[in-house]
Chain A
């Protein structure tokens, strides 16, 4: 059984059918990429699976259990993490605090205990801070630990989002254009980073425009066009698929 099963998924905004009858399965432990021209519905698909949008019709199953219509915070409890195409960093916090928020569900969140500073809580907080700093080192941001988020560069914030998602200790992570807006050197670093994440056993779902990166990392690829599934297969299969070639040549011509 696949880890994630998506069946006949659709969402309509008014008259716009942003995603239409899309079905696919993702096996545990692989890197799965979703590609397609701008406006093909890739981010909408992410928003559907991670609970930000509710599907109009269709099913999403995680480990066989229906998750469509569940809220994002419920999905977080099931080990689903994500990053955002348009950065969603908390600019009112420091970098390390942004990462610490990622560990939210693993902590004692009791208000009264926190206000009265119950024994052990501060120690746990210090451990968490160290753990978050390690994660920042893992994504290559060790020099920014105490920096305020609003003082960091775009490229650094992109990686900070990944660190925050990893702090959830997810089983399944959705990365929405992690290399968008990065320079070639940073892109290669993110490429390596995603490989490391996958090697650690996390299933990765990737939306990315950088084809070199997609071909290099992906075990399987889904191609969307105008909200519909155009093709699915290994990198080699996708490269040779005439529909895909036509769509891409059409898009770029």
Chain B
């Protein structure tokens, strides 16, 4: 009983950590621009696919991983420069469609370049499972959780202790005021896309040894990250992390105890439930209601 529960919990928090990184990415961009970036999932996919490609090309793992984070970040910045900045102040619908267009382009190009096969990445430090009270934990899960925790700490430090990070926070509270005190909000937008894409890619790399990857995994991962962001309270960084872990755990528990066929539906049932009963999320999102 306990072993089974722990097993579901382990797989839940592992995949949940990826959702958390994706949710943080959503949050960063949403705070900087009020754009909901539907291409977020493609960065996750891109991270995993590029890591596979570069390691297969014979690059040492650390180099491959850095490149697999750097390239999606550059893609994110290109999207921001070419597609988001020119339409500043457009209607929500317009922005949503632009980011969906971007996600299709990324996904399509990946399919053209790398093909439509499913790929795997070797685990970072072996595949010998660790036994905990009868449940098994893969070493890769520890990598996922450890690095996610590290990223959260670094981000917290960045936003609370550095001038750049504080400037980004200030912009999310009030763009005009931030501009008036001399913050370059264009730069903030630039940074938020770069960081958001890098976070997504990192999540994608970490999870690929466990879940495999292919050109079309981005959309579901991205949408679940999005559910996580809403669950935590859209725009709230801590909420995004907690939301991600919760979505992962609930999904794993639901798949284990209720129905594995409906595993993918669980996050979306959750989002409807959240919107009906606690629309500001667990930690209270940014209010968009201003008369």
Contacts and interface: CB of A to CB of B under 8 A. Distances in A.
Asked if A and B touch directly (CB within 8 angstroms), the answer is yes
Contacts of B291: 47, 52-53
Nearest to A52: B291
| Chain A interface category by residue count | under 10
Interface string B202-235: 0000000000000000000000000000000000
Interface in B245-291: 291
Interface residues of B, number: 1
Nearest to A53: B291
A253 to B, nearest CB: 26
Q: B-side binding surface: helix, strand, loop or mixed?
A: loop
A52 B289 CA distance: 12
Interface string A47-83: 1000011000000000000000000000000000000
Contacts of A47: 291
A43 B291 CA distance: 11
Nearest to B291: A52
Contacts of A52: 291
A71 to B, nearest CB: 13
A4 B291 CA distance: 24
A53 B289 CA distance: 12
Contacts of A53: 291
A53 B291 CA distance: 9
Interface string A93-123: 0000000000000000000000000000000
Interface string A26-49: 000000000000000000000100
A172 B216 CA distance: 60
A65 to B, nearest CB: 25
B92 to A, nearest CB: 15
A84 B1 CA distance: 63
A233 B291 CA distance: 31
A47 B291 CA distance: 9
A54 B291 CA distance: 13
A12 B131 CA distance: 56
B162 to A, nearest CB: 28
A52 B291 CA distance: 8
A92 to B, nearest CB: 11
A222 B291 CA distance: 24
Nearest to A47: B291
Interface string B103-121: 0000000000000000000
A144 B73 CA distance: 51
A72 to B, nearest CB: 10
B164 to A, nearest CB: 29
Interface string B96-138: 0000000000000000000000000000000000000000000
Nearest to A86: B291
A53 B290 CA distance: 11
Closest A-B pairs by Cβ, 3 of them? A52-B291, A47-B291, A53-B291
3 contacts: A47-B291, A52-B291, A53-B291
